[in-house]
Amino acid sequence: MVIVVALLLLGLFAYAAVQTAAQSHRLREEERQLIAEINELQTRNAELRGLSDYIQSDEYIEAFAREQFGLVMPGETVVEVKTPPKAEATRAAGEEWWERLFTR
């Protein structure tokens, strides 16, 4: 009877040890995932800080004013270059170049 009780207790301890090991493994895996996520977020944060610094810089403000509003610095001259419109294709809808070469 004592042996049966001892075996039951031994089995219970083994079960508890296996459960603890499995939980420890799951927690280590979750910790690795969280560390990877933290690293990604820190990288993203650094990128956003760099972008924020650039947007607040005089260089960005000057470029934005030139592109969006067409402003120039004193002493500069604005030169607008206009390109001719593209030539329209003279083929009919559905007509390909080989259809012109090999007519039926």
Mean pLDDT of all residues in 54-76: 91
- Residue 61 in 3-state DSSP? helix
Distance CA 102, CA 43 (A): 59
Please choose, from the candidates 59, 62, 86, the residue with its C-alpha nearest in 3D space to the C-alpha of residue 74: 62
pTM for the full predicted model: 0.52
Of residues 85 and 21, the one with the higher pLDDT is 21
Report residue 8: phi and psi, to 5°: -65, -45
Nearby residues of 65 by Cβ (< 8 Å), 6 or more positions away: 71
Domain layout of the chain by residue ranges: 2-98
Distance CA 102, CA 97 (A): 9
